[in-house]
Structure 1
Amino acid sequence: MSSPRSVSRVLKSKKLGTLVAAVLLLASCSSKPPKSLVTPLPSVTPPAHGKTDQTREPMRGVWLATVSRLDWPPVSSADISDPDVRIRVQQKALTDKLDKLKSLGINTVFFQVKPDGTALWSSKILPWSDVFTGNIGENPGYDPLQFMIEEAHKRGIKVHAWFNPYRVSTNTTSSTVARLNRTLSANPSSVYVLHRDWIRTAGDRFVVDPGIPEARDWITSIVAEVVKGYDIDGVQFDDYFYTESPGSALNDSQTFKQYGQAFNAKADWRRHNTQQLIEQVSRTIKQLKPGVEFGVSPAGVWRNRSFDPAGSDTRGAAAYDESFADTRQWVQQGLLDYIAPQLYWPFARDAARYDVLAKWWSEVVKPTHTRLYIGVALYKVGERSKVEPDWVINGGVPELKKQLDMNESMPHIDGTILFREDYLNQPQTREAVSYLKSRWGS
């Protein structure tokens, strides 16, 4: 069953395909790094909405995750056999969430539209996500992204489309392989079957190899499709660039051999690949719709001072060394409208103190036009932890208050984003949610 919005989107698809192709010609990367064909990098240039805009209200955001139906849609809704009932249940669940967010004073939702190799919008590149019906590629009967945008905007809430760029699946089980293979007869099919040579295993998941230039073009085209086709307020990438685990490293030796001749170290080549993607996507968004913001939410530590004198006084996993993402450089080069580091620790966590990292990031953005939003660990509030006991003292309210006080008092911090939405509905966060409502709500 197709809604009128789905039909209109089909009619626009030919135009969109032509535009995406043109954008990729402008933004594509060279297959012989390190030279980039994106555009010459500027010194810092102001984005469409500069930090000088004093009328901008502080960011009060929340991440809404759809991967594995963590926040939405309801886990059981995919089992509803009547499609009309299923659609009503899923849409009502989302509007109830938006009503609550509005009452809490949340003004922006970071909505996960590409949780893996599937889409939560009517895409000509990716198959439909299985979170709605249980089947990859099955039309849910409505356009969830369009529905989210319309309902959020009615309530004065902005929507940023949140993409996981490289993840194809959340596991590598035989049943997952079978489900991906079944999309071969679908239109569009999964990247798993269309470009099997791009697929690697890392962190016990199927991922697209970030070192393949055509794969980066493919990701850029996906972002372009959403930016062109939907009235979103922003685009965000999370911290999943290169993702490995001790027992499941990414085997990109052949890719390095093919494309990494200009680099002595694979780590430098990997960082270059991530840089290329950020450049491409940044330029593409601004070419299509300059008013759409582009941001990244990286791991909270760029580098530790013990490795780099420019790093923070911390001892945590570093984005530069672990994810091969030079997040500080993107800010300095003016490639991002905002950066939202995940500072998921309390003030008392010596290895990665909240205040130490918040001040470090404030100094990074200070001479630039990039806004700084801080990602806060709502998911830890009320959870007992030997190493972080502060999250349970008085319901976690004192720790949360200290973090929000800091975010709202420092001149170079422009807001807070909570991870993640469903924790607003859990019993352990009840006191903290009441506090948020008294502080932010109307």
Structure 2
Amino acid sequence: MFSIYKPLIIALIFLFIRCNIHDQTYLEKHLPESTFRGVWVTNVGSDALKSEADIKALVSNCKKYLINHLFVVVWNKGVTQYPSDVLEKYIGVKQETMLSHFDPLEYLISQAHKQGIKVHAWFEFGFSFAYDDPESVWIEKYPEWLGRDREGKILKKNNFMWWNALHPGPQKFLLELIEEVVTNYDIDGIQGDDRLPAMPSEGGYDDYTLSLFQSEYNTDPPIDHKEGSWIRWRSDRLSEYGKEVYQKVKAIRSETMVSWAPSIYPWSEQEYLQSWPDWIKGGYADFIVPQFYRYKLEDYSKIVDLLETQVNREEKKRVYAGVLTSLGGGYRINDTLLIKMVNYHRSKEIMGEVFFYYETFNR
């Protein structure tokens, strides 16, 4: 009986294997070659950092898709994902409670480096200390750090709650966190994104910043938070802070990369005071990953094209594309669209990508 069906069984087994191999390696087969292929790894909507087993699976999946740079969250929601003496000094808590049984950053670095994958510490929340949490310990402990809008309310945008990014207090705290990571870990790079260095342009109306502005101009800042000179005054100071971070990291370990992942320009400047073309031109960015987050190729190509007016050809070599590939709410990019986007990068001499976020490749 078996001999009658043997050819059919073998054919079905071969087809099953072929289909599964195709499903697992489709992107690996069709994405254009890249010397820089990164992915952001967060603890929101993902269990990738919860255990050693999860981290091993993460590294294995990334290796399969030829991902060679991991941008792993180390700071969000007011806490660190690694055990931090700095955090403990400021608020009496050493790290995210759910991760207190181990150090995911240290373990990830060890596993990734075995596979030739570089790891960047991603300070995701930057100058945002909480997400819609009016009971945050940071409010009670450091009220003078709080950002304020022109009505005097705590600075809040899209439910993210913000410090005053121009205040020396939070600036010193974040710099200490960065210094701690670069000193204590065999990290390949650090990264700030659309919240570091950044602040919603609605901010700057706190007592500290008002006093600073008045001391320079003998007048109050404009009521219009998007008035041109007021935007520039604040963004220049944030750019100086970015330069300070860059220099601090390089002084500790010169080979450690410093990168930024801001929103698209000039929206980034108008909304979050991030004048990032200046960061490239000023020499305090090893590379920039603008968040080219769009859902349609036509819209996507338009914002990629804007680069031609923002950086020159030599500067563009330090720009990689930030691509939205999935969201916790259920969105996941179509593989064909992703391949078209990457092909468009190559046509524009953009030679690498960072994908948001890892769960796209957790198949």
Matches within 5 A, 1:119-138: 119-126=80-87, 127-130=93-96, 132=98
Distance 1:271 1:251, change over 3 A: closer
Residue in structure 1 matching 2:77, options 91, 97, 116? 116
Q: Does 1:284 align with 2:284?
A: no
Where does residue 253 of structure 1 map in the other structure?
206
Find the aligned partners of 1:232 and 1:154 in 2 and give their Cα distance. 13
Where does residue 9 of structure 1 map in the other structure?
none
Shift of 1:243: 5.0
Find the aligned partners of 2:175 and 2:195 in 1 and give their Cα distance. 15
Where does residue 58 of structure 1 map in the other structure?
35
Alignment identity in percent? 23
CA-to-aligned-CA distance 1:355-380 (integer Å, 9 cap, x gap): 23323325615233861110111017
SS in 2 for 1:375: strand
Shift of 1:132: 1.8
Amino acid across the alignment from 1:259: L
SS in 2 for 1:221: helix
Where does residue 207 of structure 1 map in the other structure?
162
Find the aligned partners of 1:232 and 1:143 in 2 and give their Cα distance. 14
Q: Does 1:166 align with 2:112?
A: no
SS in 2 for 1:226: helix
Residues matched between the structures, number: 304
Distance 1:370 1:295, change over 3 A: farther
Residue in structure 2 matching 1:334, options 283, 297, 304? 283
Where does residue 67 of structure 2 map in the other structure?
106
* 8 A contact 1:334–1:369 mirrored in 2: no
Find the aligned partners of 1:98 and 1:73 in 2 and give their Cα distance. 9
Q: Does 1:372 align with 2:319?
A: yes
Shift of 1:272: 2.2
Q: Does 1:239 align with 2:186?
A: no
Amino acid across the alignment from 1:372: V
* 8 A contact 2:68–2:118 mirrored in 1: yes
Find the aligned partners of 1:325 and 1:91 in 2 and give their Cα distance. 36
Where does residue 354 of structure 1 map in the other structure?
300
Residue in structure 1 matching 2:185, options 215, 225, 230? 230
Q: Does 1:418 align with 2:352?
A: no
Give structure 1 stretches of 5+ with no counterpart: 1-55, 75-88, 134-139, 181-190, 304-317, 385-390, 427-442
* 8 A contact 2:127–2:199 mirrored in 1: no
Could you list the structure 1 runs, at least 4 aligned residues long, displaced by more than 6 angstroms after superposition.
380-384
CA-to-aligned-CA distance 1:212-240 (integer Å, 9 cap, x gap): 12331222121111111111111110102
Find the aligned partners of 2:86 and 2:103 in 1 and give their Cα distance. 15
Distance 1:403 1:369, change over 3 A: closer
Amino acid across the alignment from 1:417: V
Bigger radius of gyration among the two: 2
CA-to-aligned-CA distance 1:52-108 (integer Å, 9 cap, x gap): xxxx96111100112xx322357xxxxxxxxxxxxxx61111211211111111111
Residue in structure 1 matching 2:47, options 57, 72, 75? 72
Q: CA RMSD in A?
A: 2.8
Find the aligned partners of 1:113 and 1:131 in 2 and give their Cα distance. 13
Give structure 2 stretches of 5+ with no counterpart: 1-32, 88-92, 148-153, 222-228
Q: Does 1:399 align with 2:337?
A: yes
Shift of 1:195: 2.6
Matches within 5 A, 1:186-201: 191-200=138-147, 201=154
SS in 1 for 2:319: strand
Find the aligned partners of 2:182 and 2:103 in 1 and give their Cα distance. 15
CA-to-aligned-CA distance 1:414-438 (integer Å, 9 cap, x gap): 3011111123337xxxxxxxxxxxx
* 8 A contact 1:220–1:277 mirrored in 2: no
Shift of 1:321: 0.5
TM-score by length of 2: 0.75
Where does residue 19 of structure 2 map in the other structure?
none
* 8 A contact 1:238–1:298 mirrored in 2: yes
* 8 A contact 1:59–1:414 mirrored in 2: yes
Where does residue 25 of structure 2 map in the other structure?
none
SS in 2 for 1:236: strand
* 8 A contact 1:114–1:165 mirrored in 2: yes
CA-to-aligned-CA distance 1:20-67 (integer Å, 9 cap, x gap): xxxxxxxxxxxxxxxxxxxxxxxxxxxxxxxxxxxx96111100112x
* 8 A contact 1:61–1:417 mirrored in 2: yes
Amino acid across the alignment from 1:70: G
* 8 A contact 1:63–1:417 mirrored in 2: yes
Amino acid across the alignment from 2:335: V
